[in-house]
Amino acid sequence: MSKPNILHCSFCGRSKDEVGILIAGQESHICEECVVHAQEIVEQELGEQAQTKKTKHQNKKLVVKKPKEIKTFLDQYIIGQTDAKKILAVAVYNHYKRIVQKPKANDDDVEIEKSNIIMVGETGTGKTLLAKTIAKMLNVPFAIVDATVFTEAGYVGEDVESMLTRLLQNCDYNVEAAEQGIVFIDEIDKIARRQDNPSITRDVSGEGVQQGLLKMLEGTEVLVPPQGGRKHPDQKMIKVNTSNILFICGGAFDGINQIIARRINTNAIGFNVNKELQDYQRQNLLQFVNAQDIKAFGIIPELLGRLPIITYLNPLDAETLRSILTEPKNSLVKQFNKLFDLENIKLNIENEVLDFMVAKALEYKLGARGLRSIFETILNEAMFELPGSEEKEFNLTLEYAKSMFEKSKMSMLKVA
């Protein structure tokens, strides 16, 4: 008779007789001592990962700078918008000062409320960039969300709580870090109710969303779905306290100029009317924006009460657009120089080309974002041909820029 096969541990090689327990798998076996050793390795690895995550979040300490320092930092990345920078710097400083304040022995129980912000400005004036830059400087979790995707609870779309999911994802679901973060709600004007008077029909993506935002902006404990989207009963929720989360809302509020003009009466007539002052006011009506105008636009008073700080962004003129091209740390000229440098090609741009780009951006009312589109349109052919060639230098002349722009479909845009 043949001797039966003796079972062995697939890890240490010992036979069944030499070990106490031999656990069978599909095609292999493991003894109890190897299981214990494997468990020690797993615990050690998981412990190191947890420590790495902990250290990572400890290194992300909140840095609170003075308002002047905040504005100086913003100046490196954003040209102009002095009023918006100052208002934003003071609001952010006061908000985080209230978080890090230490209770004193003779504290009078004064509780400082947070200062959520609403920014009004035309497209391409730097609303998102302002919020991004401040989050970068403070070293806090930051999330950009679009208000247009949200609907009232129970309808197709996303719940307003899912905006906090993005904040949690940006800090590896560290709730403590997320509770001191910044949420930038873009396109806040798109959830304005359709009429100033309440409608008898349900506005699930407009006023319904505004109602859903009320408690969150004020500060409350919110149950957040970890993966975003809609809540369902079987889902495990994460509890997040929004009391120390700063909400910055931004929107173009297209058409609010007419509301402001009616209020300040820019069409006054008579002998004592200052025509120069009237012309100046018409050029930038947003500087006079207040809560009354935003309410007339369609934002409900309850939501406005939770956005106490209102600031505006100036429309971009030729001088500002010209500065945007060259002065910031991440200016477009520096970006394209870098792109060509990576191919070992030196890019030389004539000043007249930059003036041409600014003129086109103003003509088509494209704002700062339009400058990039124009840049890409003009340099597209060069960026297609030059990589892999033996060229070491490329001169961007006004004649070349005009010919490339006229060949493009962008030149067919109608001037608004």
Q: Between helices 127-138 and 67-75, what is the axis angle to 10°? A: 120
pLDDT above 60 (res 4): no
State phi, psi for 146 to the nearest 5 degrees: -105, 120
Can you give the pLDDT at residue 59? 47
C-alpha 213/C-alpha 406 separation (Å) is 47
Can you give the pLDDT at residue 202? 61
pLDDT above 90 (res 98): no
C-alpha 146/C-alpha 132 separation (Å) is 14
pLDDT above 50 (res 1): no
Band of pLDDT at residue 335, cut at 50, 70 and 90: very high
C-alpha 376/C-alpha 126 separation (Å) is 20
Does residue 80 contact residue 323 with C-beta atoms inside 8 Å?
Answer: yes
Band of pLDDT at residue 157, cut at 50, 70 and 90: low
C-alpha 175/C-alpha 168 separation (Å) is 7
Give the closest residue to 304 by CA, choosing from 162, 189, 183: 189
Which residues are paired to 204 by β-bridges?
A: none
C-alpha 349/C-alpha 373 separation (Å) is 17
Band of pLDDT at residue 334, cut at 50, 70 and 90: very high
Whole-angstrom CA distances from 327 to 72, 132, 178, 217, 323 are: 14, 18, 33, 36, 5
Model pTM score: 0.73
pLDDT above 80 (res 300): yes
pLDDT digits over 195-245, tens only?
555 555 566 667 888 888 888 898 888 888 887 666 666 678 888 999 889
pLDDT above 70 (res 164): yes
pLDDT digits over 387-415, tens only?
888 889 999 999 999 999 888 876 666 55
State phi, psi for 310 to the nearest 5 degrees: -115, 125
Give the closest residue to 81 by CA, choosing from 273, 323, 276: 323
The distance in angstroms from the start CA to the end CA of the chain is 98
For 184, the 3-state DSSP assignment is strand
